[in-house]
Amino acid sequence: MSAREYVGAGSNTAVRGMMASTVHTWETPPELFAELDAEFHFTLDPCCVAATAKCARFFTPADDGLSQSWAGERVFMNPPYGRELATWMKKAQREARNGALVVCLVPARTGTAWWHDLVLGNAEVRYLRGRVAFLLDGKRGDPTFDSAVVIYRPPVAILDVIAQLDIERFMIEYNRLPATPRYLAVVDAIAALRALACLDCESAPVPASASSLPGGRAR
């Protein structure tokens, strides 16, 4: 996140009500959403009303986003900040495990049980500089609490990534460099990882050392 501050003026009473709210009508400032959307390219807003939806696909309270599948979506979640908040965070974590990317805009309540159980060690956290002035009925409220962006990412299929390493292209570049122990070790490590990734492959085994790779040099 940039150092931009998302501040404004409005009703303190309304914002205090937001912290105990179960409604979905508090709106993310458009400039903050635009900054996040430029990075993550969201496809789903799971907890909003039609008037405040940030994505073409969205779930209203009538749709009950908690009961819907978010699998495969790139989700922007600004959940209700009342007692339901922990339930929404559990849902976000669960859906990320099922393949969704979920970016949550939440209060930075670092002492709460849900923060310790669901955020610490389980997600990427970006603390926002300045306080977010959320909108209610188009009017910005006075920002009275700190916010954070909590990011749950889907698991990486590491063996799939390793299997796609372009070892042949690497060897072309490698052959232009001095045959130092460091480069020999790197090549051997990549070849070993690819061999591990292809243990169940029907293709021929991947070479296990630099000297046996295409263009490989003797040590």
- The DSSP result for 158-207, as a single string, is HHHHHHT--HHHHHHHHTTS---HHHHHHHHHHHHHHHHHTTT-SSPPPP
Stretch 184-196: mean pLDDT: 69
pLDDT-derived band at 12, boundaries 50, 70, 90 = very low
The residue count of the chain comes to: 219
| Fold adopted by 12-152 | Rossmann fold (3.40.50)
* Per-residue pLDDT tens digits for 155-164: 876 556 656 6
Higher model confidence: residue 172 or residue 144? Answer: 144
Stretch 110-135: mean pLDDT: 94
Q: Is the pLDDT of residue 120 over 70?
A: yes
Q: Report domain extents, the chain.
A: 12-152, 158-212
Tell which residue, 18, 68, 71, 19, has the closest CA to residue 47: 68
Q: What pLDDT score was predicted for residue 159?
A: 55
pLDDT-derived band at 169, boundaries 50, 70, 90 = low
Residues ≥6 apart with Cβ < 8 Å to 122: 93, 152
Stretch 1-27: mean pLDDT: 48
Q: What pLDDT score was predicted for residue 162?
A: 58
* Per-residue pLDDT tens digits for 170-187: 666 666 666 677 767 777
Single pTM value for the model: 0.65
Q: What pLDDT score was predicted for residue 135?
A: 73
* Per-residue pLDDT tens digits for 64-77: 999 999 999 999 99
Higher model confidence: residue 154 or residue 178? Answer: 154
